[in-house]
Amino acid sequence: CLNFQYYAYPRSSNSFLRIYSWASDESKAIGFLWPEDKSGHHITSGRWGWGIINLPVGNYSLLFRVDTYDTSAYSFALDNIDIISCDYPPTTNSYNSLLSFSCNFDNLTVCEMINDKNSTFNFTAFTGETIPDQELGPARDHTHNSTSAGFLYWNQNLPVSTNDKGRVYLSK
């Protein structure tokens, strides 16, 4: 299972977090993992939310993608990314091995995650004290509820475009 916390501000029907599997084999196939269309999931504005995904078995990277079709300033962050065993219903993708990863970003690194070369804006490790726009938040991380602990932040700057996107994936 992939467990993670996420933060978004302000709430927008035109901004989305999506998580995909990106096959490591020659096919480089991309499979959609989260959120499920039938889940009725929506992002809560200005608060940390929790996501969980039962991961397929296989050799692939996880691709975290934020798309926004809004021209307003928008904040997005991730924290406490953990991959562990769980009893959650299986996904429909079929692969052949297990993935293991854990990061709370408190050391202010991106834990060997890689920003996609086609991203408009990159994900970077920040703290509540160091984020570029204090009004957008988050002011505190999810792990310790601290202004000095880290999280992965989508650093979107003004002016924004209706086609801005940020993609980060695990390097292993």
pLDDT in tens, 12-51: 666 778 899 888 888 888 899 988 765 555 666 778 888 8
In angstroms, the CA 109 to CA 132 distance is: 17
Residue 117: CA atoms inside 13 Å, Cβ hemisphere, count? 0
pLDDT recorded at residue 9: 80
pLDDT recorded at residue 117: 86
pLDDT recorded at residue 12: 64
Residue 161: CA atoms inside 13 Å, Cβ hemisphere, count? 7
Q: With beta carbons less than 8 A apart as the criterion, state whether 74 and 12 touch.
A: yes
In angstroms, the CA 148 to CA 87 distance is: 34
Domains held by the chain: number = 1
Q: Tell whether the model's pLDDT for residue 89 goes beyond 60.
A: no
Domain carrying residue 75: 2-170
The mean pLDDT value of the chain amounts to: 79
pLDDT recorded at residue 92: 53
Range from 30-39, 83-92, 128-137, 154-163 carrying the lowest mean pLDDT: 83-92
Higher pLDDT pick, 70 / 145: 145
pLDDT recorded at residue 148: 94
Q: Kindly tell me the burial class for residue 145, based on how many C-beta atoms sit within 10 Å of its own C-beta (0-12, 13-18, 19 or more).
A: exposed
Which regions of the chain does DSSP assign to beta strands (E)? Answer: 2-9, 15-23, 30-34, 49-53, 60-68, 75-83, 101-103, 113-115, 123-127, 150-154, 165-170
Q: Tell whether the model's pLDDT for residue 149 goes beyond 90.
A: yes
pLDDT recorded at residue 129: 94
pLDDT recorded at residue 160: 66
pLDDT recorded at residue 76: 84
**Most confidently modeled of 110-114, 120-124, 159-163?**
110-114
